[in-house]
Amino acid sequence: MQDRPRRLRRTPALRALTREVHLHPSQFIHPIFVHERDTVTDIATMPGVQRHSIDSAVAQAREALALGIPSVILFGIPDHKDALGTQAYAEEGVIQRATRAIKASVPGISVIADTCLCEYTDHGHCGPLCEVPGLSGADAWTVDNDASLALLAQTAVSQARAGADVIAPSAMMDGQVAAIRAALDATGFTHVPIMSYAVKYASAYYGPFRDAAGSTPSVGNRATYQMDPAGGYREALREARLDAEQGADTLMVKPALAYLDVLNLLKREFDLPVVAYNVSGEYSLIKAAAAAGFMDERRTVLETLTGFRRAGADAIITYHAMDAARWIAEQVSL
């Protein structure tokens, strides 16, 4: 008897019946850029994505929930930036105000607060800078790891106090999860989980995000604290294990598309939910190719997101979330 795998691919109904990986809006996290202005402005390098006012961010959260997307992640763009990123942990900072507004108007949605300083520092790095003895020029400056921990912990507590459901530290400082967990616990926020950017690479795919948030480093780069793309599995496992031991409730891989092997590795090695961050550059590549007529945007997006799920992602942060949710609903209704 000849084996014929094509039998189960003959019709859309049979393909749906035997499908192993399923994509659903409940797996998506919708990112929102929030600035302190009353306007909504387009981001040239991310077609279809905007910097939102607080009122507009509330509307975005409401729309996401209506589409079946249960969570948003907020990125703040303050009017004032300084060397210490003070607006990141200000009680009336843009993310703190946006969080309160969203939780008041859309109580059914989970608000995840990105916890970092890069959008708030005038030099664009993820913590205060310090000099490196014996070096000169751009290499003479790096982020002061331990000084950053206190500021990140302060930021996390202010975000939790504003009503954030999840704290998501992204600075890649050694010990940040432990410092944040201790600070949250000490201030009565033992119930607030930490979504750790556990495996975050020094990637070229972040370019459009840095344009959107105004967080391009003015000196040096982030290679001393974000991971080497060629670092391999040993470094990825070490970073993830440290965060898990320090109290992370979920582990993230960022970017996702070029690191599906690492995403799958974490899924197999850790008994924690794994999040894939479908980053700005990955989003913009598809948008640019679709605009040029090179690719079918809808099919490419859904195939890409399905790939993240197949590799092991329990949740996906993606700028495609709204569109993908609508496309999935259209497929279901056919």
Instruction: Report the C-alpha gap between 199 and 129 in whole angstroms.
Output: 22
Catalytic residue among 103, 200, 267, 287: 200
Residue 287 annotated in active site: no
Residue 267 annotated in active site: no
Catalytic residue among 81, 254, 267, 287: 254
Helix and strand totals (H; E) in the chain: 11, 12
Q: Which residue has the tokens 């084996």?
A: 3
Quote the crossing angle between the two packed helices 297-311 and 321-333, to the nearest 10°. Answer: 100
CB atoms within 10 A of CB 171: 25
Instruction: Report the C-alpha gap between 263 and 285 in whole angstroms.
Output: 21
Instruction: With H, G, I as helix, E, B as strand and everything else as coil, classify residue 295.
Output: coil
User: What would the two tokens of residue 166 be?
Assistant: 């999840």
**All residues at 6 or more sequence positions from 137 whose CB lies less than 8 Å from its CB, including other chains:** none
Q: What is the dihedral of CA 230, 235, 240, 241, to 10 degrees?
A: 170
Instruction: Report the C-alpha gap between 215 and 193 in whole angstroms.
Output: 26
Q: Which residue has the tokens 């202005």?
A: 37
CA max distance for the chain: 74
Residue 202, strand partner residues: none
Backbone Cα Rg of the chain: 20
Nearest to 25 by CA among 321, 330, 334, 331: 321
Active site residues: 200, 254
